[in-house]
């Protein structure tokens, strides 16, 4: 048998039907659902009189537009958001799918809840009507975002019509320098490949620096595979993965655990398997990074300066000019001189316990700059609870951060957590697009530790200066 | 879904690269539980000023392009969020074809589910089509899916590739779910096999 990549193996194990032209029906093991991209899909099912084919494999949680202030227990004020969340309440009940309602302690961002509850397991196919579904690839699961029509398709048939992507390998060799995190890795990769560099591919991340990451870090890396254009990101499961999964509420137990482990241990890329594209980055070469523009590929080390549009080629010259103007920056300006007024720590990229620990480590015993608006939005109710038990919440509150309830919050600003025009935010989220965090708002993407450093100094800051 | 017919109409130029789905439709418009009526907010933040007035500089607000049927866009169109509201808004505005040198994967898929034809062309052809689009309302382009050809206003013919299954579905207005349900027995068989092989799933 010819050697296979990890992607090949998971793909082959899930093809329910292959047509002569290579179009496949790919079987879906887990379908995650949230309130924003699902109402039209459930409506479609109702109109056609179709049930959900596998409700036991379908898990729903409201996250995108739920408020994160404590008063949300009294209901959602915004009528449109409320209608969407109520629609999900009803759809979950009517169609008999697993559900974590707003006020359940297990509620949170769908991509944090799935792994936390043990729904996401190695070797699975996982989809969700959300592009950051790539997160689950950290477990060696083939996971990607889909549109609402495809949500309806999966609800009705538990399959997706797919053609296979190409294989891409991203290897991060060696060790990371102090102050450099999983977020810096994933941003550095996008800086290298561009936002379309992964288009048409599934990326497998490998190498010593990836192996040494915790599951939280691996999720951060895979989460942003989509920002590099890839359909999905994958990391082969290993002892770190198995240890994380074991004992979670929906993980297999007893004899089933043993059987699962037998298969999971075969989930790696065979020696000599073919990759259509290979990118290698030395872990030692990665610095703490920030974004300067309005595309996630606009990445530079914090020690760098804002580039000149003329430094680029082709369509990027105009795009860079537009970005610099939108961001209110000057070419040649030092990134570490850029003053910020808002800090957001959270999101499916960096809303897990390890992220909060990293930020708290920098903030311990310090205060945020006067006038700074800073908030921590834990990725789930359980992350929030754990952070309170570990004393992290107290560190954040004493430093001057708001301590919020779980949700997507200011990552996409569908709920009340938004930037005003011209406000500038250091954010641990995943997109710095124009208007992403609020119309006219300006976003610099960075790691949780870097966000904490920026909150203290009031400007983009090299976290290594505070370590 | 409606059958995809030959399109003969105005093409609007949007040379900016990396146009993301937040630009195509900002999140404030994702709170709907319907698919319709989003055309008016297509490219909302570029198309309207903060006070809600139209920005006359934006291409789709210019008299020549208000009724555009085709969009010729810069590289990596539709990147970012998976929101299908983006193609819903494009379709509702009246655009049936988007042409670029590349598209983001999820957006590309979403187009086909909504009767929109996304066409990938090489840089040389893209430059020709972008020039043609800049000519305005008297320069009408024709997109013929059956023959896989784009004809510019001055008669230049550019051929394009498309996946045969997707072409078939667009031309015949086929509903994916109905098609897949015809293969139900394959899914049953797969589930039977998978429940033996991976009972923990």
* pLDDT tens digit sequence for A196-231: 999 999 999 999 999 999 999 999 999 999 999 999
What is the arrangement of strands in the sheet containing A58-60, beginning at the earlier edge strand?
A: A98-99, A58-60, A30-33, A125-128, A142-145
* % of chain B with per-residue pLDDT over 70: 100
CA distance B167 to B164: 5
Confidence grade of residue B16 (pLDDT, cut at 50, 70, 90) = very high
- Cβ atoms of B153 and B130 within 8 Å: the answer is no
Burial tier of A74 (Cβ tally within 10 Å: 0-12, 13-18, 19+): exposed
Q: Is A148 in contact with B84 (Cβ distance < 8 A)? A: yes
Report if residue B151 sits inside a domain.
yes
**Residue A61, Cβ neighbours under 10 Å: how many?**
30
In chain B, the number of structural domains is: 1
pLDDT in tens, chain A (467 residues): 799 999 999 999 999 999 998 999 999 999 999 999 999 999 999 999 999 999 999 999 999 999 999 999 999 999 999 999 999 999 999 999 999 999 999 999 999 999 999 999 999 999 999 999 999 999 999 999 999 999 999 999 999 999 999 999 999 999 999 999 999 999 999 999 999 999 999 999 999 999 999 999 999 999 999 999 999 999 999 999 999 999 999 999 999 999 999 999 999 999 999 999 999 999 999 999 999 999 999 999 999 999 999 999 999 999 999 999 999 999 999 999 999 999 999 999 999 999 999 999 999 999 999 999 999 999 999 999 999 999 999 999 999 999 999 999 999 999 999 999 999 999 999 999 999 999 999 999 999 999 999 999 999 999 999 99
Round to whole Å and give the CA distance between B97 and B116.
Answer: 6
- Residue B80 in contact with residue B19, Cβ under 8 Å? no
In a domain, B76, yes or no: yes
Longest dimension (CA), chain B: 64
Beta partners for residue B7, in sequence order:
B143
Name the residue among A426, A401, A404, A424 with its Cα closest to residue A416: A404
Hey, which CATH number is domain A289-466, 3.30.70.100, 3.40.50.1000, 3.30.499.10, 3.30.700.30? 3.30.499.10
Q: Which residue has the higher pLDDT, B20 or A21?
A: B20
H or E stretch covering A209: helix A208-211
Tokens found for residue A56:
């036991």
- Tokens 């480590």 belong to which residue? A361
pLDDT in tens, B113-136: 999 999 999 999 999 999 999 999
Cross-strand pairs, A137: none
Give the whole-angstrom CA distance, residue B192 versus residue B184.
12
SS3 B125: helix
Question: For residues A382 and A105, what is the distance between their CA atoms, to the nearest angstrom?
Answer: 6
Distance, in Å, from the CA atom of A125 to the CA atom of A114, rounded to the nearest integer, reads 13
CA–CA distance, A258 with A249 (Å, rounded to integer): 16
User: Measured between CA atoms, how close is A210 to chain B, in angstroms?
Assistant: 24
Chain B interface test: which of A47, A147, A326 (most B C-beta within 10 Å): A147
The alpha-carbon gap from A466 to the nearest alpha carbon of chain B, in Å, equals 33
**Cβ neighbours of residue A77 closer than 8 Å, sequence gap 6 or more:** A67
Q: Is A425 annotated as a binding residue?
A: no
Whether B177 sits inside 8 A of A50 (CB atoms) is yes
- String of b and e for A246-280 (b: at least 16 CB within 10 Å)? eebebbbeeeebeebbeebeebbbeeebebeeebe
Residue A434 is classified by DSSP as T
- Chain A contact for B104, CB < 8 A? yes
Summarize pLDDT for A334-380 with one digit per residue, the tens. 999 999 999 999 999 999 999 999 999 999 999 999 999 999 999 99
Half-sphere exposure (Cβ direction) of A454: Cα atoms closer than 13 Å: 34
Query: Which one, of A343, A152, A355, A117, lies nearest residue A244 by Cα?
Result: A117
How many angstroms separate the Cα of A438 from the Cα of each of A31, A323, A400, A417? 29, 16, 23, 9
Q: Do A326 and A442 form a contact (C-beta atoms < 8 A)? A: yes
Tokens linked to B132: 């043609």
* B34: nearest CB among A23, A40, A156: A40
Quick one: closest CA in B to A230, which residue?
B105
Flag whether pLDDT at B39 surpasses 90. yes
H-assigned helices in chain B: 21-24, 44-47, 85-93, 105-112, 123-133, 164-172, 176-181, 184-197
Crossing angle for the helix pair A381-389 and A353-363, nearest 10 degrees?
40
Helix (H) / strand (E) element for A99: namely strand A98-99
Task: Check CB contact under 8 Å for A315 and B74.
Answer: yes
Asked, for residue B188, whether it belongs to a domain, the answer is no
Across the interface, of A27, A152, A421, the residue whose CB is closest to B194 is: A27
Strand order in the sheet with A424-427: A402-403, A373-377, A342-346, A424-427, A442-445
Mean pLDDT of B168-193: 95
Q: What is the pLDDT of residue B1?
A: 83
Residue B89, in any domain of the structure: yes
- Contact, A427 vs A296, CB < 8 A? no
For helices A39-48 and A148-157, what crossing angle results, to 10°?
A: 50
The verdict on A421 touching B (C-beta cutoff 8 Å) is yes
pLDDT at res. A55:
98
Residue listed under structure tokens 């008669």: B155
Whether B130 is in a domain gets the answer yes
Determine the 3-state secondary structure of B140 from DSSP: strand
Question: Residue B185 falls within a domain, yes or no?
Answer: no
Q: Which of residues 211-230 of A touch B (CB under 8 A)?
A: 226, 229-230
CA nearest A465: which of A250, A209, A287, A321? A287
* Residue A222 counted as an annotated binding residue: no
What are A132's two structure tokens?
A: 């950051």
Is residue B51 classed as helix, strand or coil in its secondary structure? coil
> Which pLDDT score, from 0 to 100, does residue B20 have?
97
Measured CA to CA, the distance from residue A1 to residue A298 in angstroms comes to: 42
Positive or negative torsion for Cα A73, A75, A81, A85: positive
For B108, name the nearest residue in chain A, comparing CA atoms only: A147
User: Is A6-164's fold the same as A166-238+268-285's?
Assistant: no
Residues 6 or more apart whose CB falls under 8 angstroms from that of B29 comprise B38, B41, B44, B85, B89
In which residue are the tokens 């080390």 written?
Answer: A301
Nearest in space to A160 (alpha carbons), one of B192, B176, B118, B107: B176
Of A150, A163, A138, A56, the closest CA to residue B195 belongs to A56
Q: Cβ–Cβ of B22/A439 closer than 8 Å?
A: no
- Rounded alpha-carbon distances, angstroms, from residue A175 to A213, A216, A345, A349, A362: 10, 17, 25, 22, 21
**Is A408 labelled as part of a ligand binding site?**
yes
The tokens of B59 are what? 């291409």
Per-domain residue ranges of chain A: 6-164, 166-238+268-285, 289-466
Rounded Cα distance between B105 and A415, Å, is: 27
Position B193 in a domain: no
Write down the ipTM of this complex. 0.94
CATH of residue B144: 3.20.19.10
Q: Which of residues 9-68 of B touch A (CB under 8 A)?
A: 15-18, 20, 22-23, 26-28, 30-35, 45, 50
Q: What is the token pair recorded at A248?
A: 């979670």
Sign of the C-alpha dihedral computed for residues B189, B193, B198 and B200 taken in this order: positive
Residue A311, CA atoms < 13 Å, CB-side half-sphere: 11
**B102 inside 8 A of chain A by CB:** yes
Q: Which residues of A touch B31 (CB under 8 A)?
A: 36, 65, 78, 80-81, 83-84, 414
Domain extent for B80: 7-174
Mutation target to probe the A interface, by most A beta carbons within 10 A, among B77, B78, B82 is B82
Homologous superfamily of A166-238+268-285 in CATH?
A: Aconitase, Domain 2 (3.40.1060.10)
Strands of the B117-120 sheet, one edge to the other: B117-120, B97-100, B70-73, B7-14, B140-144, B149-151, B157-159
The CATH number for A6-164, chosen from 3.90.1170.50, 3.50.50.60, 3.40.50.300, 3.30.499.10, is 3.30.499.10
Query: What pLDDT, on a 0 to 100 scale, did the predictor assign at position A91?
Result: 98
Around A2, how many Cα atoms within 13 Å sit in the side-chain half-sphere?
4
Nearest by Cα to A3 from A269, A275, A236, A207:
A269
Type and span of the H or E element at B13? strand B7-14
In 3-state terms, what secondary structure has residue A335?
Answer: helix
Q: Does A418 touch chain B (CB under 8 A)?
A: no
CB contact, 8 Å: A350 with chain B? Answer: no
- Identity of the residue in B45, B113, B199 whose CB atom sits nearest the CB atom of A434: B45
Strand partners of residue B173: none
Searching chain A, which residue's CA lies closest to the CA of residue B183? Answer: A17
Cβ atoms of A319 and A307 within 8 Å: the answer is no
């Amino acid at each position: 048998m010819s050697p296979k990549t990890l992607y090949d193996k998971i793909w082959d194990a899930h093809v329910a039907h292959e047509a002569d032209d290579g179009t496949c029906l790919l079987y879906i093991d887990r379908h995650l659902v949230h309130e924003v991209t699902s109402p039209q899909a459930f409506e479609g099912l109702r109109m056609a009189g179709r049930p959900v084919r596998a409700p036991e494999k379908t898990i729903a949680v409201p996250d995108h537009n739920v408020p994160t202030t404590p008063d949300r227990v009294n209901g959602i004020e915004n009528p449109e958001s409320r209608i969407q969340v109520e629609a999900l309440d009803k759809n979950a009940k009517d169609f008999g799918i697993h559900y974590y309602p707003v006020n359940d302690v297990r509620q949170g961002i769908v991509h944090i809840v799935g792994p936390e509850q043990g729904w996401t397991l190695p070797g699975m196919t996982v989809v969700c009507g959300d592009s950051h579904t790539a997160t689950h690839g950290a477990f060696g699961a083939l996971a990607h975002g889909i549109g609402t029509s495809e949500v309806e398709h999966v609800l009705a048939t538990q399959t997706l019509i797919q053609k296979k992507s190409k294989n891409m390998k991203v290897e991060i060799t060696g060790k990371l320098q102090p102050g450099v995190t999983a977020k810096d890795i994933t941003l550095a990769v996008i800086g290298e490949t561009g936002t379309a560099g992964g288009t048409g591919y599934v990326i497998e991340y490998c190498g010593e620096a990836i192996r040494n990451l915790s599951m939280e870090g691996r999720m951060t890396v895979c989460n942003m595979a989509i920002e590099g254009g890839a359909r999905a990101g994958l990391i082969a499961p290993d002892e770190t993965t198995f240890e994380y999964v074991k004992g979670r509420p929906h993980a297999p137990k007893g004899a089933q655990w043993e059987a699962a482990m037998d298969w999971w241990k075969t989930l790696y890329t065979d020696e000599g398997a073919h990759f259509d594209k290979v990118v290698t980055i030395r872990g030692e070469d990665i610095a703490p990074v920030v974004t300067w523009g309005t595309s996630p590929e606009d990445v530079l080390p914090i020690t760098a300066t804002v580039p000149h549009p003329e430094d680029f080629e082709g369509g990027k010259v105009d795009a860079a000019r537009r970005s610099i103007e939108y961001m209110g920056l000057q070419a040649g300006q030092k990134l570490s001189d850029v003053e910020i007024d808002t800090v957001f720590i959270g999101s499916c990229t960096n809303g897990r316990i390890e992220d909060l620990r990293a930020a708290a480590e920098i903030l311990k015993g310090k205060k945020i700059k006067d006038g700074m608006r800073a908030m921590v939005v834990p990725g789930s109710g359980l992350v929030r609870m754990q952070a309170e038990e570990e004393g992290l919440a107290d560190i954040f509150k004493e430093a001057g951060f708001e301590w919020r309830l779980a949700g997507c919050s200011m990552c996409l600003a569908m709920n009340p957590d938004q930037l005003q025009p011209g406000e500038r935010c250091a954010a641990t989220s995943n997109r710095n697009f124009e208007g992403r965090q609020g119309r006219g708002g300006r976003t610099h993407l960075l790691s949780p530790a870097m966000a904490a450093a920026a909150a203290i100094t009031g400007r983009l800051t090299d976290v290594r200066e505070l370590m | 879904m409606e059958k995809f017919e030959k399109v003969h109409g105005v093409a609007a130029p949007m040379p900016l690269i990396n146009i993301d789905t937040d630009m195509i439709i900002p999140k404030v418009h994702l709170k709907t539980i319907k698919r319709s009526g989003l055309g008016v907010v297509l490219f909302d933040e570029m198309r309207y000023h903060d006070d809600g007035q139209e920005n006359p500089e934006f291409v789709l607000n210019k008299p020549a392009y208000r009724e555009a049927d085709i969009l010729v866009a810069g590289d990596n169109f539709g990147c970012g969020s998976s929101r299908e509201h983006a193609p819903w808004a494009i379709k509702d505005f009246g655009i049936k074809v988007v042409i670029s040198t590349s598209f983001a994967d999820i957006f590309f898929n979403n187009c086909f589910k909504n009767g929109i034809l996304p066409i990938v062309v090489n840089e040389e052809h893209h430059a020709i089509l972008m020039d043609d689009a800049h000519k305005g309302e008297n320069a009408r382009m024709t997109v013929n899916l059956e023959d896989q050809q784009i004809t510019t206003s001055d008669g230049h013919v550019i051929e394009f590739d498309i996946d045969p299954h997707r072409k078939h579905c667009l031309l015949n207005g086929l509903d994916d779910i109905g098609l897949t349900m015809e293969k139900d027995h394959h899914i049953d068989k797969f589930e039977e096999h998978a429940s033996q092989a991976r009972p923990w799933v």
